[in-house]
Structure 1
Amino acid sequence: MIQIGIVSDEISLDIKEAIEIGLQLGIKNYELRCIGSYEKIIPYVDNRDIEFILKNVETGKINITALSPGIFKIKPSEYEKIKFELETALPDTFKLARRLNVSKIIIFGFVKDQTPNENIIEILKIASDYAQSENFILAIENEPRFYCDTGKNTSEIIKLVGAKNLGANWDPANAVGAGEFAYPSGYEFIKNYIFNLHIKDAVNYPEFKCTLIGDGAVNWFGQLKAIINDGIISKINSTHFNRFPYRCTMTTKSH
């Protein structure tokens, strides 16, 4: 049975409030990204918040399904930032992930510039090899204006990296923003690489804008049916609650 989760800061940046509201909505699974403020991104958040999360994990009240530290949400030509993320941010994320009993780390596929794909693939190989040595899996989130933007492009890069522990954090709404017909077209390319699924909706005209499920261009009924029938994953995450967590949860469950 598919379990619904949520990126905690989509409910509230206050982690205590986020979990309190989430539990009231019957949500036990949480993905961590920003805590306290949008400038405080996992793993560099306040220790008191980590201790609060850890206590709730240890007592079985919640599960942390993934950490999203924003790794590689940069241009591949920003060498100093890449060095920091490979040598400092990623190891620090792994340390926190171990404490929280998390094996899945969400990363990104680099903001587009003039860098050849071969360079990106090499960086992702380094990250994947390191993650494999530490027993973690990496899931690339597709995002408009990134090298990994559509299901097609993301799948091609993952295939060329060739690491078993590198897959996709499939976001059909972001694929819409990149001009792809997310389901079934994008899904057919990416389905064999999906490690995680983000649920939101979006329109791409007159500009890219995220919406509640059912208000956008993603065929979520078909997409979720395919995810279930293909046995891809057992947990899904709603990522855009806006100010309406109850409505978002109910629309996700109804699909």
Structure 2
Amino acid sequence: MNRREFHRLAGFGALGFMALRAAAENFDYPWKLGIITDEVDPDLARTLASFYPKYQLRWAEIRNLKLDGKSRYVYNSATPAQVKQIKKQLDDANVRISVLDTGVYKIALPGTAPAGENASDLNPVQGEYEKQLDDLKRGAEAAHILGTDRLRIFTYKRVSDPNAIFDRIVEDLHKALRVAEDQNVTLLVENEFDCNVATGTETAHLFQAISDKRLMHNWDPGNCYLAGEQPYPKAWNQLDHSRIGHIHLKDASGKSWKPIGGGEIDFAGQFRALKEMAYSGTMSLETHYKNAQNDPFTSSVESMDGLVRVLKQV
């Protein structure tokens, strides 16, 4: 940590720590709430030491972490020794992992031209498609060490007509499910605005086609919104709620990310619906929003504060 970062965190703590701590101590989260840790800082130790105590969080979603000096995907970059060290850091902070995020199938499907992508996306690295299932297996092994059996996956970079390649997507998801069965893990397919399953309509279609309960849904209202569909109640009412295994929380207005409660997504209504269905699963803040200072830490604080305010309404 450099001097500027130290003073930023120290100053924030001096000004706001007691108020934030009091707010967290006086509020019981209704669900298993965490954050995708690299949204705060790719250095896990710093996130656990600076952000988690302020909100008394006990769950973490792991995506990218600082490994060998660079921020990298954990699932296919971390060595077994590094994965064990990550597990120790979580245990020492009394934090459990909810989901291990992978980038499996977040590439161009061979023979397709993703809409709005640049030349490098149209020409993925040689052999990238062929190693997707090997990467998934490696991710499953890492997940077991970390203490979870759930991995996030995607549905390939979005093309102009996703229906034209729907059968190929389903076929490849079945291949991934065979790995999931062998490795005893559950796959969470995320509705992602720049992938081929983005909206509630598209998600419902996918889960009607695949009944295997090893494939569950990572519901992301923010991605649904950016894909052009109202997340709640329109998209929500189309989903098979029994297949929701995890939820991402981020708000938006137009094409810009916002703190929770500062955008156009009806999170109060969404949370009431989750309460009514007795949802008992995990969810993670996925900040994405950047404040005027473009600072991930304080941006995440703003968004978590907004999330707590909305939750208190429910």
TM-score w.r.t. structure 1 length?
Answer: 0.90
Counterpart position of 2:39: 10
Counterpart position of 2:59: 29
Q: Is 1:196–1:233's contact at 8 Å kept on the other side of the alignment?
A: no
Distance across 1 between alignment mates of 2:39 and 2:93: 22
Choose 69-78 or 11-20, whichever is displaced more.
69-78
2:139 aligned to which of 71, 83, 93:
93
Quote how far apart the aligned CAs of 1:39 are. 5.0
**1:160 and 2:233 matched:** no
Determine which structure has more spread, i.e. the larger CA radius of gyration.
2
- The SS at the match of 2:284 is strand
Q: Which runs of 5+ in 2 are unaligned?
A: 1-29, 111-123, 291-295
Equivalent residue letter for 1:69: T
Q: How does 1:95-244 map to 2 (within 5 A)?
A: 95-113=141-159, 116-190=165-239, 191-204=241-254, 208-240=255-287, 242=290, 243=296, 244=298
**1:52 and 2:85 matched:** yes
Distance across 1 between alignment mates of 2:144 and 2:86: 13
**1:252 and 2:284 matched:** no
Quote how far apart the aligned CAs of 1:111 are. 1.0
1:83 aligned to which of 130, 152, 175:
130
Distance across 2 between alignment mates of 1:21 and 1:52: 19
TM-score w.r.t. structure 2 length?
Answer: 0.74
Distance across 2 between alignment mates of 1:53 and 1:22: 17
- Sequence identity percentage: 22
Distance across 2 between alignment mates of 1:49 and 1:246: 28
Quote how far apart the aligned CAs of 1:70 are. 1.1
Q: Is 1:195–1:233's contact at 8 Å kept on the other side of the alignment?
A: no
Distance across 1 between alignment mates of 2:236 and 2:177: 23
Change (3 A) 1:150 1:120: same
Equivalent residue letter for 2:244: I
Deviations 1:131-165 (A, max 9, x none): 02322111111111321101110121122122111
Choose 143-152 or 52-61, whichever is displaced more.
52-61
Change (3 A) 1:59 1:16: closer
Change (3 A) 1:89 1:234: same
- The SS at the match of 1:36 is strand
- The SS at the match of 1:213 is coil
Distance across 2 between alignment mates of 1:20 and 1:58: 13
Output the aligned Cα RMSD. Answer: 2.1
Change (3 A) 1:59 1:17: closer
For these two proteins, the number of residue pairs brought into alignment is 251
Quote how far apart the aligned CAs of 1:57 are. 4.0
